[in-house]
Structure formats: structure tokens, C-alpha cells
Amino acid sequence: MTMPDERSRAVVQTRDFLVKLSRDSSLPEQVRDDAKFLLRHFPSRDDVILAGRIEEQSETLPLGTMGPVFSSTFKEFVPTSAGQK
């Protein structure tokens, strides 16, 4: 089961990845345009942190059995590039 801090980190890193794709001139224009399109409604780092804070601080929020979706804190993870050890 994915924990809120893991989900928060994954969403933030996915946004960073989409930003990189959208700016990489070596990629086809369609790939860059698709990344830009997805970014239009993708939450920012601040959005994710705020959502985590709201969920953590609200005892009246109807989270049900699922619990919080996001966390206001998470460890940064720097993936290694393919082929690096």
C-alpha cells in the first residue's frame, strides 16, 4: 500500500519529469506539447504540500477508511539515470 508521503513524492517528481519533457528540444514537438498539456492541471509541489496539511489537520474531513491521500512532508528521492551505478 502506498503511504501518503510516498504518493506526495511521486506526484511532485512526476510533475518535475513532465516539466523536463516539455523543455527538451531533442524530443518530438508532440511529446513536448503533450507534457505541457498534462501540466496545465497537474498539482504543483505547493498544492501537494497544502493538500497534505489540510488532510493532516482536519479531523472532520470525510476521509473514510482510505485515510489521507497526501502528506505535507516527504523525503526527496533522486533517481539515478539509466546505466549509472
Run of H or E including 33? helix 29-39
Whether 83 is in a domain gets the answer: no
C-alpha grid cell, residue 73: 512532508
Question: What is the pLDDT at residue 57?
Answer: 78
Q: Which residues form the domain of 27? A: 4-57
Say yes or no to pLDDT of 67 above 70: no
Count the domains in the chain.
1
Tell me the pLDDT of the chain averaged across its residues.
84
Whether 64 is in a domain gets the answer: no
Say yes or no to pLDDT of 69 above 90: no
Whether 10 is in a domain gets the answer: yes
Question: What is the pLDDT at residue 64?
Answer: 59
Question: What is the pLDDT at residue 85?
Answer: 44
Q: What is the pLDDT of residues 19-50, one digit of tens each?
A: 999 999 999 999 999 999 999 999 999 999 99
